[in-house]
Structure 1
């Protein structure tokens, strides 16, 4: 993103603020662009069986799990996510968006189709659905991970945001829905056939869950009902064992309760597509990690460092729910907030971090044309609401590289350092434009300096 693009983004924000229903007024423009792109590349989405994944959090990891599982089972499968796209060899995505513009989307789908992919696992955002970027892409299976408050700067209300995501299900033949989410019924009613999943509720349930630092493990209850068109109407259809009488057991190499949900969604997809229990379990176990998602950075230091993309209140909570139970020392949290994005949740995120952390460091994120110091102050207010004191356990360093070094330097034995917000991203967006910046690389550099000193 160049400086001129930052200026265009500022103009768009200005128009959204000043012109009533601006986003609705420009829909015909988006539809036209999508239509032209689809025709230009010969409707490549129609050449594959497309699995679309939407939700607030967990989309990328769920996509990777499904992609890995299908490829491991012998089905050539393409992937398009926030992090990367491709088939066998993935290309890293530089754009700071999940579902790219319609032209790029169709170009990449054509590349994937031309590579011989049978399936495509596509991460789909509310923006993309509202702007019809996926025009001409038939969705065979739609997956909903969860829906919490995000992108209200664009959608204005939670209901608008939720309903934008529902469009994916209205396009789909079959739905996979997280029944532990409060909005699950809205998505379920938008598709003729569906399966629900969850830990507390759902046709597919995770039982005997074991959460560990190296991954999760659980049994799948209700798998026999997948593929039964009446399962959605009668949750007691089927049993807790498959045809061989053995309960499906899932293990992952990715930690966190949220991984139970993400992998269970992948299980539902695998069962619907006819994979056997061995193909599903081995495929899910084959995924080592997802870049920028709970990535541990270990250079031999005596404390934990984790880099994660968490940037919403719900994502913050999920990270803390994963690390707090096993902590031995302090939790040091570092994060910032993107400019022109979800301003209303900044204080809430600051308060959540303070509630679960011992030290909070506020820094920059993709500030764009917004003043990073003003963004930081909104997080500070939230942390102060939780009783934190600036200069004591609440620190502000607006240079992200210096802030990461600070977090690493103050860490002691058994502490957990959380670097949150940017995850896999390769640049940081400032008012002057995009600057190369990767949390994982910067964190490794900071650790080397700490260990050398």
Structure 2
């Protein structure tokens, strides 16, 4: 266990959360059967046998590659006092709760053990293909400006106040989530922003979370290695809005905040029974931006519609960030934050790690790192770069292995279309051969005017070597990530640091 994981484990300790099993089961609305009837004290709920501690209820979840029932004996040996199962596990002499769907029941029991923590917090769930992370961090700044206590869960990390913790998935599994929410509640958090992935919605990882505001950013091709079609992908995202419920409570209102300019907007509007607030770049939206002026160092626009016209000058660059700021502003307004605090936050936020992040250099060209890993997000970023580039644009881009293969030629095509030179390289190849991934990408190219450099570090160096005065280098795909997955191993790798170190090295050339 790493030092960071130890810190998380310590902060999210379940020692103070103890309930008799029978007490928990009284709150369970599902039919179940007890095997080896007993009433132990439950101090932890987990589906990961490696995390089991004394007093644990171990949940035998059937996964895609492993079956939790096969780890029940190991969990018992480590101190588990009860099992949640779909079939009886022989030779494990502890109480077993047999249900039809372990993963579904897990959410209810974890929620009950940690005393329904999201019922007393303002929960904001953000979904969409692009922009989720940026919107969570913009909201964090807005709520801080409003003197509120915040927490967030997302792609980069989990934060509770000013403390940060590593995270395994954009949206973690239920027992970890509810334990985290309990820690947030104890820390006095007012607002929690969480990114909600389509995988999490499809698998039911957010069941039982009392979402107050659901935000939709956009929908473009991604994750078609997991979802059979774009329709399936969209339907998974829609569940967040369906789960806002059908009841309207004027004392505790819920809202759906939706990008009105997105082609899929109407689907998400129809998916919810709650009041809808739209945002966009035209007056047809409830909150809209007009008079947009973009440059290499700032973005200026007028915020209008729900509020009297307000001019915003922000260091967040690009039209896509205007959408992110609109989403955050609409959410904050419906959370009761005054426009003065929203304006102050939008104008003070410096940026989000790995999102259009400039690598500081004394050279007469620019280097930008961005997480763009879908065709649409890469197009948006390159279009923004085009608005201020006087020289050439170099695009370093790769695609992940064991993921949606259909977007590989699309990514390369976008790079070729919107930059002067595309350098194809590795992203996280995982168990695929990097050369094979690049061959898939090449299918989207119409010319031979591109470079292949399989080693990502060398690809970044190559782009820097090629750049001249007024040029811009975009290093796309990994953004905030500080690792590269090759085979089944994870190695340290940070696009920003690699570029920064090479730029420093070249100062001595």
TM beyond 0.5: yes
- Residue 74 (structure 1) aligned with residue 154 (structure 2): no
Alignment correspondent of 1:209 = 292
Q: 1:168 aligns with which of 240, 252, 256?
A: 240
**Aligned-residue offset at 1:333:** 0.7
Q: 1:104 aligns with which of 176, 180, 187?
A: 176
For 2:66 and 2:232, locate their aligned partners in 1 and report how far apart those are by CA, in whole Å.
20
In the alignment, which residue of structure 2 is the partner of 1:53?
126
The 3 A distance-change label for structure 1 pair 41 and 373 is farther
Q: Supply the distance in 2 between the matched residues of 1:314 and 1:120 (Cα, whole angstroms).
A: 28
Question: When the two structures are superposed, what TM-score results if normalisation uses the length of structure 2?
Answer: 0.76
1:303 to 359, 362, 365: 365
Q: Out of 318, 321, 329, which is 1:259 matched to?
A: 321
What per-residue deviation string (whole Å, max 9, x for no partner) do you get for residues 213-232 of structure 1? Answer: 222121122115xxxxxxxx
Q: Which residue of 1 aligns with 2:277?
A: 195
> In the TM superposition, what are the counterparts of 1:82-231 in structure 2 within 5 Å?
82-91=155-164, 93=166, 95=168, 97-172=169-244, 173-191=254-272, 192-200=274-282, 201-224=284-307
**Among candidates 396, 399, 402, match of residue 334 of structure 1:** 396
Query: Which position in structure 2 is the counterpart of 1:446?
Result: 502
More displaced, 443-452 or 289-298?
443-452
Shift of 1:29: 4.7
Partner of 1:43: 116
The DSSP-based 3-state class of the residue aligned with 1:189 is helix
Q: Which string of whole-angstrom CA distances, capped at 9 and with x for unpartnered residues, describes residues 194-246 of structure 1?
A: 1111003412111111112222121122115xxxxxxxxxxxxxxxx2xxxxx
Provide runs of 4+ in structure 1 moved above 6 Å. none
TM-score, normalising length from structure 1?
Answer: 0.85
Structure having the higher helix fraction is: 1
Equivalent residue for 1:426, pick from 482, 486, 490: 482
Is the contact between residue 206 and residue 260 of structure 1 (CA under 8 Å) also seen in structure 2?
yes
Secondary structure of the structure 2 residue equivalent to 1:378: helix
Cα distance change, pair 280–370 in 1 and its aligned pair in 2 (3 A): same
SS of 1:412's equivalent in the other structure is: coil
Worse-matched range after superposition: 79-88 or 329-338: 79-88
CA distance in 2, matches of 1:92, 1:301: 35
CA distance in 2, matches of 1:362, 1:37: 45
Deviates more, 1:150-159 or 1:209-218: 209-218
Q: Using the TM superposition, give the Cα deviation of residue 134 of structure 1 relative to its aligned residue in structure 2, in angstroms.
A: 1.0
1:401 is paired with a residue whose SS is helix
5+ residue gaps, structure 2:
3-62, 68-99, 245-253
Q: 1:92 to 1:366 in 2, by over 3 A?
A: farther
Task: Give the structure 2 partner of residue 360 of structure 1.
Answer: 422
What is the alpha-carbon root mean square deviation over aligned residues? Answer: 2.1
Q: Write the distance in 1 (CA, Å) between the matches of 2:176 and 2:102.
A: 16
Q: CA deviation at 1:94?
A: 5.2
**Corresponding position of 1:231:** none
Contact 2:161/2:189, CA 8 A, preserved across alignment: no
Q: Secondary structure at the match of 1:53?
A: strand
The reply to whether residue 249 of structure 1 matches residue 294 of structure 2 is no
Instruction: Check the 8 A contact 2:295/2:387 in 1, yes or no.
Output: no
Residue by residue over 1:301-322, the C-alpha shift from the partner in whole angstroms, topping out at 9 and shown as x without a partner, is: 1110000000001101110111
State the secondary structure of the residue aligned to 1:153.
coil
In 2: Cα distance, 1:376 partner to 1:325 partner? 28
- With a CA cutoff of 8 Å and minimum separation of 6, indicate the structure with the bigger relative contact order: 1
Deviation at 1:42, TM superposition (A): 3.2
Q: CA deviation at 1:144?
A: 0.4
- Partners of 1:56 and 1:147 within 8 A in 2: yes
Q: Show CA shifts across 1:13-48 (max 9, x none).
A: 899xxxxxxxxxxx9454244334434433332231
Deviations 1:338-380 (A, max 9, x none): 1121210100110110011121111111111111110011112
Counterpart Cα distance in 2 of 1:447 and 1:272: 45
Tell me which residue corresponds to 2:456: 400
Q: CA deviation at 1:12?
A: 4.4
| Paired position in structure 1 for 2:491 | 435
The separation in 2 between residues aligned to 1:447 and 1:117, in whole angstroms, is: 41
Pick closer, same or farther for the CA change 1:437–1:207 going to 2, 3 Å.
Answer: same
- Measured in 2, the distance between the counterparts of 1:36 and 1:330 equals 57
Taking the aligned partners of 2:103 and 2:293, their CA distance within structure 1 comes to 45
Whether contact under 8 Å (1:83, 1:92) holds in the other structure is: no
Q: Which residue of 1 aligns with 2:23?
A: none
Name the SS for the 1:424 alignment partner.
coil
SS at match of 1:218: strand
User: In structure 2, the residue corresponding to 1:407 is in which secondary structure?
Assistant: helix
